[in-house]
Structure 1
Amino acid sequence: MLFEENKERISGLVDQLESKYPGRKKGVFMPNDTHANVLLNILFQKYGKLPETYQIIGFDDSPISREAVIPMSTVGQQISVIANEAMNILSAQMAERKKRRPEPLKEPVHKIIPPILIRRETTV
């Protein structure tokens, strides 16, 4: 999807929120930090600031969330923990295959790595 198309859709979302919830608090969770930044920019262009009626959270803790005109709240995925767990599982499977009578896993291994809410200025 092109940037212009995304910006147009997010701008339409702002218009929709404004008409449906005028003067009310609006919490918006965007699918990633890039989209959250586009929303933040649209609001700045429209109001000259982030209105007190908006709170924005992005997803993925990309550098843009820290470097935006206002640092954005986001959900971090703990990539280093995910990578470490994946390597532990892979190492265990490799060690099992080296055994004289290996017993491969019969079912997939499921690990839950909780995401972290990183609070910044868009959700004060």
Structure 2
Amino acid sequence: MIFLNLFKKDPLRQKILAIKKDIKKIISKVCTERYWIEWVGAYHINPKHLAFRICVKSDDMKLKLKSDAELYKVLRDVLDKHDYPVEARDKVFIGFESQQTVDRESDGKWHIHVQ
């Protein structure tokens, strides 16, 4: 809640933080291992330049979440719920990654892996 108050002058950032919070609630109901939600993007240049990554511990969980079409629809609906700019909604990336993959492919370095 404190973070939402820090960015009152940036309403789009407020929406992004609210979307992240809702994504976390949704994932908490279906993920049985440690996870976190990251977001990056130059949304201030164009709202379509936004990406959410749901990060989990195992490849098995990543594949389970990634293959759940209904979950993906529910996650995308959060953009509608928070009135993210209509012209950008279909362009916002929502994806999944696992610590196992990052360890295997990028020596555990997330900042290299997600480039």
Q: Which TM-score applies when normalising by structure 2?
A: 0.27
Structure having the higher Rg: 1
Q: Which TM-score applies when normalising by structure 1?
A: 0.26
